[in-house]
A and B are shown apart, each in its own frame.
Chain A
């Protein structure tokens, strides 16, 4: 699914060059649930931007779905993000003053999905993410944090991406709500066979994945297989009591 070969990212500034990533190499297999963990300033955000095709490395090669994307143009990167990647952000990034349904159909506009199919697809994903019909026409800024993140997850999934990239998805949520969101990711990985990369600085959050890559000062320091993985807390996967 993903292969990084000696990825280096340098930010140039007047104060001198900053090495955000130094010779990072790793691979993510299909259907894997990987956590990238590191303190702030470790380069994990830079890595996430490259993995998410939002940025390209200064040197090294990045293969996404067997395609070398290191040298692609902005618009070609946009096409990959549109068709193959679903993003979930820490701060949700929903359109304010827009309904849940409109937020979730947004990626389908750019994917040129015919209008008549969009709402149908969006409604399915919203319900899969654990919100019911009554929420379709709620405005996004009237929802709770957990509900907002569910809308964001529905939005990430609506165009059926191979790969989900979650950047601190529980960062703005309380522990209980965070737990439920992490459960959702586990289900997406186990039942829908989607590849997931989760960026976090918390060990507890990272332990929901199958594998953790520890990153510090722009380099991988440890590649750990999670043995005592935190599993679903309830049998009822979708919590409706958010």
Chain B
């Protein structure tokens, strides 16, 4: 049988039983669609988490107080709970480590903020001018805290766009120059930072930046630091810089056993790696759950093909009587099942794409459909067609023509 005839016979066979073919295809559509959508959600969240970590700044090391027990296992790293980092530590790193490009100490804590009848509770970050370079902060209005502000303990505040919205209303203008009260102390607004689009915990848009010295003197009442951000000159020097800072701080704190260090240094790359390994696992898990429905769809194909073979036993007998070989018969039925999964695969890709789009539109979760997941879906659906279609096709091909012709 020629290829064209094979497809024509398949077309007739599938169209003569529209409802059954349609429902079988639907099984595959749902399977492929959910696999694609789930992988899109998983990969999308990996990408958005990774990019939000990278938006913290490039080549970043974070020195925080607390005990180091490997990445992700610090128990007592809560800001303010361990007061082991001081301004001298930041100054020492600045002075003695040559591999650093910039350094920004930070003292942050949550306070109640009020402004003309509105109030909010958000994170107040005391820092220095270098913060903008180290943490990639961009300004839309006004200017960031200057060296002068830090020296003179100015009561000035830089607002994040979300905080601005909370205090002065959605996209309010003319905010610069107005006064807000942080912990009952008046601060003058000197600018607004540009939105970074972060969400959830550690949202960089929902923050207020004030001079470090002001925060230490008027809000915290101490000169401890909650974090020291260090920007290293390049990617290659990250490890060396981390080691140098570790030994410097150990000697400053008079600690001889590195295991007992009262601070920890996190490398941005380490965070990206550990977070993306978690979300990769999530992607695999979601994909695995979705592929169960794909297997169910495949069983649907096999079920339909077995029914078809039984129903068309006499037709198979006739085809054999007029000269069809085993290969002709098995190819015919195999083509039918592959055609079912192929159509299901195409529609499934569309469904998966629509689902992913819907999740992004209505659920606010970033999704990402990769070419790999589409190729995977197409490959898997073709494989399902062959695997689940093989047995029915083989059964049809090995029917005895005499018995098949007699079949009632």
Contacts and interface: CB of A to CB of B under 8 A. Distances in A.
B5 A81 contact: no
A49 B406 CA distance: 12
B14 interface: no
B322 interface: yes
Interface stretch (B53-61, B295-303, B311-319): B311-319
Given A89-B405, A97-B16, A98-B12, A107 B323 contact: yes
Give chain A's interface secondary structure class: helix
Given A93-B318, A95-B315, A115-B4, A78 B402 contact: no
Interface of B: 1-2, 4-5, 9, 12, 16, 314-315, 317-328, 401-402, 405
B321 A54 contact: yes
A97 B14 CA distance: 12
B405 A112 contact: no
Interface of A: 49, 52, 54-55, 74-75, 78-79, 81-83, 87, 89, 93, 95, 97-98, 102, 106-107, 109-112, 115, 155
A109 B401 CA distance: 18
Given A95-B315, A109-B1, A81 B321 contact: yes
Query: Max chain A CB contacts within 10 Å: which of B315, B323, B328?
Result: B323
B321 A52 contact: yes
Contacts of A87: 321-322
8 contacts: A52-B321, A54-B320, A87-B322, A89-B318, A93-B315, A110-B1, A110-B324, A110-B325
A95 B402 CA distance: 17
Contacts of A55: 402
Given A98-B12, A109-B5, A110-B1, A54 B326 contact: no
A142 to B, nearest CB: 14
A95 B312 CA distance: 9
Contact of B322 (A75, A102, A115, A155): A155
B5 A75 contact: no
A93 B324 contact: no
Given A93-B317, A98-B12, A112-B2, A81 B405 contact: no
Lowest 4 CB-CB distances: which A-B pairs, in order?
A82-B323, A107-B322, A110-B323, A93-B318
A89 B319 CA distance: 13
Given A89-B405, A97-B16, A110 B315 contact: no
Contact of A49 (B5, B326, B402): B402
B401 A82 contact: no
Nearest to B4: A115
A49 B405 CA distance: 11
